Amino acid sequence: MSHIDHTHDPKAQSWVASANTAGTDFPLQNLPYGLFRRLHSNESARVGVAIGEQILDLKLAAALGKWSSAVQVLLQPLAEGDLNSFMAKSVAERRALRHALFDALREGSAQAGALQAALVAQGAVELFVPCKINDYTDFYTGIHHAVAVGKLFRPDNPLLPNYKWVPIGYHGRSSSIVASGVPLRRPKGQLKPPTADVPVFAASKRIDYELELGLFTASGNALGEPIAMQDAEQHMFGLTVLNDWSARDIQPWEYQPLGPFLAKNFGSTISPWIVTMDALEPFRCAFERPADDPQPLPYLDSAANRAEGGYEIELEVWLQSAKMRAAGEPAARLVRSNFRHAYWTLAQMLTHHASNGCNLQSGDLLGSGTQSGPKPEEAGSLLELTQGGKQPITLPNGEQRLFIEDGDTVILRAFAERDGARRIGFGDCACTITPAL
């Protein structure tokens, strides 16, 4: 599976100076795709590639650059603002464009003079959800989250019997997915407090974040035709950071017997950049189950998946209250976890989703589920951090939180780093909760 090439060379530099800065999310080795529009303009949204503090406008790049005829064909849908059509192309074609963009942006490239005019500062644009999301499914692959939450409700039996056998998921709502920076309103719903005889309709008092990654599918499959494990990676385009917001006081009343509904679909936030699977090649890791756990059924297993189906991606949660923001105080980091703790791999999620013949489409989003680590300080939600809303956390300015309050901004961040590879990041996944109507 692993495919390391010259685009992963950690010593490679770009003629875009900000891409060479230590700690940048967007060095030459990353080149994630997004959708943007210049501020105060009437232009249609267009596809770009993040490079340092700049964005390469692919509409302008297609017109100004000197490309081979094959690369021009690959750039065409991107120049038209249609990322989905490009995502549906083959791995070889997607990789060929990565190579062409890498070479064009590399230090010493003959393209530098022509493409300079295709750059726009990230601070001068509005960023959108990066592609058309046809469908959204959220999985539950974070076993440490599943155990911690299960213990709150079933102390003696936190995991349900199927958890270690099947990648659990539910169908979410793509229409309420927003890009980083878009505020979300506190939802109302039916609540039934433990001491009440009847439910009430009121604003949620237990808004919670969920620290996740989201997988964007590449090419889809025909209805009725499953995707085999050995083919799964051909259908994986890239990853984004995902905050699958939850209303914890609406959720327990409504989710029985059919699962999550209004407690989840009032909004989900994603980072605006899709980091391609090619960019993440240096950060693969082995996928291992404890020896005494059930091993995956054959349709969810392969030697390649066991050898390098996992990914080492650091995940963080930051919070800035309205009071902190007014005082000019920065956001505070609450937790740090890692995607390597996931109980199911991306390939297993995708394969299982299509195993019954479900037809995935280019641009479908598959959420990983909350990614908590084995330690309490690696909890990927406030539900875990506060022990079900019983133990408040204290922010640096002395404020306390059980759940998210109006005016709070939650920022999720992700990055991958390893010796022998250039650090790459995903950009912020930020959202502020505003008061209910």
Residues 68 and 159 in one domain: no
Instruction: For 378-422, write each residue's pLDDT tens digit.
Output: 999 999 999 999 999 999 999 999 999 999 999 999 999 999 999
- Give residue 72's pLDDT: 98
Domain boundary residue among 72, 93, 128? 128
Residue 136 main-chain phi, psi, to 5 deg? -135, 125
Rounded CA gap, 347 and 325, in Å?
A: 40
Residues 327 and 386 in one domain: yes
Tell me if 271 sits within 8 A of 427, measured CB to CB: yes
Q: Domain of 15?
A: 6-128
Element (H, E) at 151: helix 143-153
Give the three-class secondary structure for 44: coil
How do strand 169-171 and strand 136-139 relate by DSSP bridges?
Answer: antiparallel
- Give residue 46's pLDDT: 97
Residues 124 and 149 in one domain: no
- Give residue 202's pLDDT: 96
Instruction: For 12-51, write each residue's pLDDT tens digit.
Output: 999 999 999 999 999 999 999 999 999 999 999 999 999 9
Q: Which two tokens stand for residue 159?
A: 């995991």
The single residue listed with the structure tokens 């070889």 is 92
Residue 159 main-chain phi, psi, to 5 deg? -100, 130
Is 62 contained in some domain? yes
- Give residue 148's pLDDT: 94
Residues of the chain falling short of pLDDT 50: none
Element (H, E) at 63: helix 58-64
Active site residue 341: no
- Cα dist from 24 to 15, 337, 415, whole Å: 15, 20, 10
- Give residue 190's pLDDT: 96
Is 1 contained in some domain? no
Is 307 contained in some domain? yes
Check 145, 235, 341, 353 and give the catalytic one. Answer: 145
* CATH number of 82's domain: 2.30.30.230
Q: Find out whether the peptide bond into 257 is cis, omega within 30 degrees of 0.
A: yes
Residues 387 and 403 in one domain: yes
Residues 73 and 161 in one domain: no
Rounded CA gap, 60 and 36, in Å?
A: 13
* CATH number of 429's domain: 3.90.850.10
Rounded CA gap, 202 and 223, in Å?
A: 41
